[in-house]
Chain A
Amino acid sequence: MPVSGLVLTVPRAADQAGECSPEALAALRSLAFLELGAAKDGRVSAVLDASDYPSHDAHLATLRALPQVTWIDVVFHDFSDVSDFERPPRRDGGSHGPA
């Protein structure tokens, strides 16, 4: 159950006073999977909490696709309860045990 601390770069308010655009903040607030924290100078802190990796990845993809999000930085990631790992594809189509 991954948890990520994110810093989202968003457009600044139209008056260029250094605050984040209200439209961007509203768009982010509408996302149930995201909890917002402090915001300043066009950057918003957030935590992304997901039940599993597929939904974590889907949420990140949703964020990336938002026109109000210009950049995503990650400052913290916990994966202490991940235990199953997929194996990569192999050119010879063989299995993925030790070579």
Chain B
Amino acid sequence: MDRRDFLKASALSAAAASVLARGASADDTDPLDPAVREQVGSGVTWDKAPCRFCGTGCHVQVGVRNDRVVAIAGDRQAPVNRGLLCVKGYHVGLALYGGDRLTRPMLKRGDTHVPISWDEALGIIADRIEGNPAGFAFYGSGQWTIPEGYAAQKFMKGGLSNNHIDPNARLCMASAVTGFISTYGVDEPASCFDDLEAAKVVLIWGNNPAEMHPILFSRMVDRRGRGEALRLIDIGTRRTRTTGFADDYLEFRPQSDLAILNGILHLLIAEDTYDHDFVERHVAFRREESGPDLMGIATDFDTFRASVAEYTPERVQEISGVPAAKIRMLARLFADREQRITSLWCMGPNQHTRGTGVNRLLHAIHLLSGHWGRPGDGPQSLTGQPSACGTAREVGTLSHALPGGLVVANPAHREHAEEIWNLPAGRVNGTPGAHTVEMWRRFSTPASDGGDIDTIWVQVTNPAHSLPNVDKLFTPSRGIPGKFLIVSDVYPTATARAADLILPSAMWVEKNGMVGNSERRTQQWFKMVNPPGEARDDAWQTIAVARKLFDRGHQGMRDKDANFIFRVNDAAGAEVPIWDYRHYYDVNVDEHLFEEYRRFTRYKHKDLAPYAEYVRARGLRWPVVEQEGVWTETRYRFVEGEDSYVEAGTGVQFYHSTSNDGRAQVWIQPYVAAPEEPDAEYPFWLCTGRVLEHWHTGSMTMRVPQLRRAMPEAYVELNATDARRLGVENGDLVRLETRRGSMDIAAWIDGRGRPPEGSLFVPFFDERRMVNQLTLDAHCPISKQPDYKKCAARVVCIPRQAGSRE
């Protein structure tokens, strides 16, 4: 048998094992099919890592030979994916090997970038910080590993007393955060992916998991394959691949999800089908005081009832376009206590100018109906990035936050942080810093006009491509004297190419890492291959700049005992010079950072286990609590018998309740129109989003040839009736225009996604078709998350002979 036959036998064996055993059985602890291990075996070593891409958090087994990743297999021991992967996941290893990896620090001189040494690069950053400490900002990512985000967080808030740090997760998850905090007093889903096996009905709100979270969707498809009854209801603004699997499809006008949710609440009360017992014991009512605000003031049931009274099914139909009978159908599902209903959502409700409000209402329909806290019965928001939860939300790399769910505005929280970091009292600044949109607006505004942020260090993200209304928030900065952009990345993205200083980064299994997925699951992996050239870990870059400042005498880089704030000792107690990359892996810096971070997590009952527990596991869902010597994860938060912080006899206890009585808050949240709606001049709704093959701005997946070939360029989805009226045929180039910009793009009529008449959809992965030159930077006033899902646009036909496709 030659090597190729071996490989084929291995592949078939792994697939057969998945089919016959649905992953490894309890007594089979081998994460790889033994045949794969044996037959691929010669010279290949295997280790576990979470997939680099989405927030599902699948685990892969990574095969390495001669310092190169050569094979990927689904990890049979991983509870999330049970040995399976999606098309992006199995190409994840190839994302390391694009031909244009950045391998040296480079400084912009004139129109070109010239290589410089690491020491020079670190010195330039230190100069910028010392030159204007208050004008320095750090822009990070939900792709930062937990230790990377923690290092940046400590550097900024603990070292520089500067809160201008925010992650790109502001653009995707901030409304979910404010929804959870204002409902339960603490962030992140209480339920978990186990719901997908226990639900009888799954409601999919403005979300396309068949393409965006394919492994979770495949778990649902798999149940149907076993003959289980599972009703899928797709509630969206356009037909997608998910719609093809749905039992019901409810198409609503953009923004009117607010009305539909209020309609369900109205019927639950009007028909007296809400869960009196659950509401009596576990729910309080709340309203905003005089305008949008996070915590609001208490109100009563009668006021709440009056607030939803106008949302009759007929009125909701008028606003949303969803037939009144379908609104009644939804309300009756929630009225049925025998049902197990899971609501799934992601970007649709989050990227919304009332994102906090939609999130609150999604929780409200479950709380009012008592569909909360049983397996398969509850609200579950999903994330798009691998560590939007683990890093952005839990480490708290947001401009107002501290690690572990703490906030800078709370003096007790600041004191707690200063104690853990061994800093002098008052070091942590109590004023929240600039959130993403504000940070970039100030960076793109001359100092003379109030643009007081003059230096931004970007790590692991691509804002020149992903910010909304990019020609307002990003592009102007590149022409304003004195503005300095530093970018750490692995590839020359649009942002890196626009930078003044480029730092080459290590990626995924080229470094140690930890991430946290959408179900509170913290995951760990070890470095398996070396990064190319002089590319280095992002956490090292942060620590090395901190050390440069320390060496120059910066007081912020010293703790109370005058030690370096990132001091790491070896087993004998001697300091290891981790700022010197040659010594960075003499110790496990990730472990040191994580163990320190872990001390924050008990404050808000987000307990994490010791690092070593994550080395053994395929992730553990927090709170992870030690019980009789065993570190035990939590599937369902706030539920007696599942969550060890819930007092016996309470059943359900919201122990971070903002009303201090163990209750969750159901909010009054009326429908309000979108800030920009179609009109005579711009008659279409424009929605943006993602596709199966590409991950976000495509900086990794567009470098994987087969993914790029499978989806080579962006397109605009157009309804067939609109296309006929406009005289547009499939593949024709059209000009898309909004009040902010225009671009030429090919039309796809009745393609993979099918928008209704008067609606358009453009994916944002393609750098040549930068749809964020067209999008709106209007955002939710509470979460500050922009609305990428709706603005007004028009389509202009380009005569065929004049338009040519690239």
Contact = CB atoms under 8 A, between A and B. Distances in A.
A3 B10 CA distance: 10
Nearest to A42: B225
Interface string A1-28: 1111111010010001010000000000
Contact of A73 (B18, B496, B767): B18
B85 A73 contact: yes
Interface string B63-106: 10100001111100000000111110111011001111011101
Interface string A38-65: 1111111111110001101100110000
Given A78-B40, A91-B770, A43 B89 contact: no
A60 B709 CA distance: 12
Interface in A65-87: 70-80, 82, 84-87
A28 to B, nearest CB: 13
B71 A78 contact: yes
B482 to A, nearest CB: 22
B497 interface: yes
A83 to B, nearest CB: 9
B113 to A, nearest CB: 5
Given A77-B90, A88-B767, 12 more contacts: A5-B11, A18-B226, A35-B8, A49-B8, A53-B706, A57-B709, A75-B18, A78-B70, A78-B71, A85-B98, A86-B703, A98-B492
B97 A89 contact: no
Interface string B673-700: 0000000000000000000000000110
Chain A interface size band reads: 35 or more
Contacts of B510: none
A85 to B, nearest CB: 5
B276 interface: no
Contacts of A41: 19, 225-226
Chain B interface size band reads: 35 or more
B702 interface: yes
Contact of B12 (A9, A37, A92): A37
B102 A99 contact: yes
A98 B115 CA distance: 10
A90 B90 CA distance: 25
A5 B14 contact: yes
A98 B101 CA distance: 7
Interface string B306-348: 0000000000000000000000000000000000000000000
A57 B218 CA distance: 21
B767 A91 contact: yes
B708 interface: yes
A9 to B, nearest CB: 5
B94 A79 contact: yes
Contacts of B71: 76-80
B582 interface: no
B568 interface: no
B129 interface: no
Contacts of B33: 76
A45 B227 contact: no
Nearest to B75: A75
B270 interface: no
B8 A90 contact: no
A86 B226 CA distance: 41
Given A79-B71, A91-B767, A92-B497, A45 B19 contact: yes
Interface string B1-22: 0001001101111111111100
Contacts of B10: 5, 76, 78
A12 B215 CA distance: 20
